[in-house]
Amino acid sequence: MAVKILTVDDSKTIRMIVAKAFRPYECEVLEASNGVEGLAVASKEKPNVIILDVTMPVMDGPEMLAKLKSNPDLRSIPVVMLTAEAGKENVLRIAKMGVRDYLVKPFKEELIVERVGRIVELKPRGDSAQKHRRIDEEIKVLVVDDKPAIIDHIKKGLSDLPWHIEGVGQINQAFDYAQQNVVDVILISLSLPSDAGFVLYQKFKGTVKTRNTPILGMCVKIANEEQTRAQQLGFTGIVTKPIDIVDLRSKIVRALNLDTSFLYFEHRDTSLVVKIPVEMSQAVIREIESCLQQETTKAVDAGLDKVILDLTKVAIVDISLVELGLAIRQVSQDLSLKFAVLGSAEIQTQCRNFQETKDWKLAESFEKAMEILK
Amino acid sequence: MVSEIDELVKEAVKDVFSTMLGMNAEVDPKADQKQSDEELISGAVGFTGKITGVVFINTVSRFAKQITSSMLGLSPDEIDGDEMVNDTMGELANMIVGQVKSRLCDRGYECVLTVPSVVRGQNFSIESTTGTERRVIGFNCGAEKLKVEVLIKHENNQ
């Protein structure tokens, strides 16, 4: 259920600023223009937090607060006071009223989000929609490493994707960048001096804007202590140096749950074709496996009755590819789909070298595969 | 005291513009006293108590619309009618004078704020009455200008 935030302020401007501040988060912002309206909305909607102005006509903030506190149904709702008057006496008076926090106008939107984020969990809007984001959409990646060569390597390696890679060497710069921009995933070097990578991780996790952002640690393979520490802290994953770009891409895909199915699955005629790319790797196999069930089910729904594993771009058939083929065949059988493998004579021979493929139907062209599956 | 209030106003205007609008408001020592031919809008908030006065935040309505657009994160086309601009100018004045009032209270000049009000029109001027001192502070906000008028009731009249 979405978090409900009630803003009670006689200024429509302030209510609109509050609504704007929380727009990037999964929450509903309710509005009231004075204490009387505020109490009515609070009783009906039971908000998770109330942002309450002090000076208002009809019923001011302190009076509404007193009424909230005397109502057993409403007294536990946390209240953040918003005031244009920051004098010492005023602040002391507000603090004694039993409010959770207070903010002085003028205020930065980030500050109000930060304070409310300490009271309720704010999830960035789009977390649930991320399942539908495709790998070929713009993704913002923040890379924090004091070695410019690492940043360059990542930028060059991912340059075939429309991703924006922002590289910074200092943790303060990284933190400021992530506060001022929407970052989808963060990569932090775990070998920054004075444990700065771990300090930065904790800073990001303590901030509403980046609390739910996936963070991958980067370190050399033999840095076991750093890897263990990162896992214990809750890093989303580890990317080992020297960085294998295919592995990095795959880890980002998994961290963001990006859709890669269109790279591997295609509907052709009455068949679902599973295309194996030239650059075959464990990461690619994992990506195909992760959407296999969903894609075959969609194929059945679309009226297709065949699955063809396309190995025409593959040079070598190894055991991992055979295992993937067996998994595809099993899913096909479960859904009563016919199964065949497409590949050159050489690939067919390589397939036959594996006992497990003895009952695979092999064909050199798509047309022949369709024919033998009739 | 009046010069102290001048400084408090300068500080508050700079602070509010920087925080709410991400805009630098620089004091313009050669503030233009002439009236603009364009439509003007003035947001005003007063303070009354051990010290009494009123602060007017004046600008042309074109800049007021730009301020509203920036403050609310809307495109100028989305600002529908005068109400939104009036409300924003009132709130801007409230924030500026609220900060001044807080500093005055901290210095022992207890006072309370009045509700914000907004005046629109062409070729109008704000004048002081007997026993009231009028100060004008000009600001450059990028290419636009802002004029803040402060009316303070003389202490011996309170």
How confident is the model over A192-237, as pLDDT tens digits? 999 999 999 999 988 888 888 999 999 998 888 899 899 888 999 9
- Inform me whether the pLDDT recorded for A346 exceeds 60: yes
A86 confidence band (pLDDT: 50, 70, 90)? low
Do both A283 and A215 map to the same domain?
A: no
pLDDT (0 to 100) of residue A130:
47
- State whether A85 and B73 contact (CB < 8 Å): no
Do both A7 and A93 map to the same domain?
A: yes
Q: CATH code at A70?
A: 3.40.50.2300
The strand pairing partners of A31, in sequence order, are A7
- Inform me whether the pLDDT recorded for A272 exceeds 90: yes
Query: Whole-model pTM?
Result: 0.61
Q: Which domain holds residue A195?
A: 132-256
pLDDT (0 to 100) of residue B11:
93
- Give B48-63 as a DSSP string: EESS-EEEEEEEEHHH
| Average pLDDT of the residues in A68-73 | 92
Best B11, B13, B20 residue to mutate vs chain A (most A CBs within 10 Å): B20
Residue A147 maps to a domain: yes
A36 confidence band (pLDDT: 50, 70, 90)? very high
Interface residues of A toward B, Cβ cutoff 8 Å, are 11-14, 16-17, 20, 55, 57, 83-90, 105-108
Do both A102 and A151 map to the same domain?
A: no
- Inform me whether the pLDDT recorded for A131 exceeds 60: no
Do both A37 and A54 map to the same domain?
A: yes
Nearest to B71 among A13, A83, A84 (CB): A13
Do both A76 and A147 map to the same domain?
A: no
- Inform me whether the pLDDT recorded for A185 exceeds 50: yes
Do both A250 and A168 map to the same domain?
A: yes
Do both A136 and A206 map to the same domain?
A: yes
Nearest to B135 by CA among B84, B88, B100, B89: B100
Do both A201 and A266 map to the same domain?
A: no
**Percent of all residues in chain A with a pLDDT value above 70, rounded to a whole number:** 97
In whole angstroms, give the CA distance from residue A221 to residue A364.
42
B36 confidence band (pLDDT: 50, 70, 90)? low
| Average pLDDT of the residues in A349-366 | 91
- State whether B72 and A16 contact (CB < 8 Å): yes
- Classify residue A20 by burial, with Cβ atoms within 10 Å: 0-12, 13-18, 19+: middle
Q: Measured between CB atoms, does B84 come within 8 Å of chain A?
A: yes
pLDDT (0 to 100) of residue A236:
92
Evaluate the omega torsion of the peptide bond into residue B76 and state whether it is cis, within 30 degrees of 0.
no
Do both A70 and A174 map to the same domain?
A: no
Residue A219 maps to a domain: yes
A1 confidence band (pLDDT: 50, 70, 90)? low
| Average pLDDT of the residues in B102-126 | 84
B35 confidence band (pLDDT: 50, 70, 90)? low
- Of A221, A236, A256, which marks where a domain is finished? A256
Do both A105 and A183 map to the same domain?
A: no
- Inform me whether the pLDDT recorded for B144 exceeds 50: yes
Residue A123 maps to a domain: no
- Give A214-275 as a DSSP string: -EEEEEETT-HHHHHHHHHHT-SEEEEESP-HHHHHHHHHHHHT-B-HHHHEEEETTEEEEE
- With a CB cutoff of 8 Å and minimum separation 6, the contacts of B74 are B68
Do both A273 and A304 map to the same domain?
A: yes
A106 CA: distance to closest CA in chain B (Å): 6
In whole angstroms, give the CA distance from residue A335 to residue A131.
24
pLDDT (0 to 100) of residue B90:
93
- Of A87, A117, A147, which marks where a domain is finished? A117
Number of domains observed in the structure of chain A: 3
Is B31 or A84 the better-scoring residue by pLDDT? A84
Do both A179 and A96 map to the same domain?
A: no
Q: In this structure, are residues B95 and B20 in contact, taking their beta carbons and an 8 Å threshold?
A: yes
- Of A236, A256, A276, which marks where a domain is finished? A256
Q: CATH code at A355?
A: 3.30.750.24
pLDDT (0 to 100) of residue B82:
86
Backbone angles phi, psi at B146, to 5 degrees: -135, 135
SS3 A82: strand
What are A298-336's pLDDT values in tens digits?
Answer: 999 999 999 999 999 998 999 999 999 999 999 999 999
Q: Measured between CB atoms, does B78 come within 8 Å of chain A?
A: no
pLDDT (0 to 100) of residue A126:
63
Q: In this structure, are residues A73 and A45 in contact, taking their beta carbons and an 8 Å threshold?
A: no
Across A69-73, A186-190, B74-78, B127-131, least confident range:
B127-131
Indicate the residue type of A197.
Answer: G
pLDDT (0 to 100) of residue A331:
92
Across A130-134, A160-164, A314-318, B77-81, least confident range:
A130-134
A42 confidence band (pLDDT: 50, 70, 90)? very high
- Classify residue B71 by burial, with Cβ atoms within 10 Å: 0-12, 13-18, 19+: buried
In whole angstroms, give the CA distance from residue B76 to residue A60.
32
Residue A38 maps to a domain: yes
- State whether B98 and A17 contact (CB < 8 Å): no
Residue A7 maps to a domain: yes
Residue A124 maps to a domain: no
User: For chain A, what is the mean pLDDT?
Assistant: 89
Residue A122 maps to a domain: no
Residue A282 maps to a domain: yes
B145 confidence band (pLDDT: 50, 70, 90)? confident
- State whether B87 and A13 contact (CB < 8 Å): yes
| Average pLDDT of the residues in A362-373 | 91
pLDDT (0 to 100) of residue B142:
84
- What is the distance of C-alpha A165 from the center of its chain? 16
B111 CA: distance to closest CA in chain A (Å): 11
Among A281-290, B53-62, B68-77, the range of highest mean pLDDT: B53-62
Place of tokens 């309170």: B158
Nearest to A190 by CA among A227, A234, A242, A158: A227
The strand pairing partners of A215, in sequence order, are A186
Indicate the residue type of A13.
Answer: T
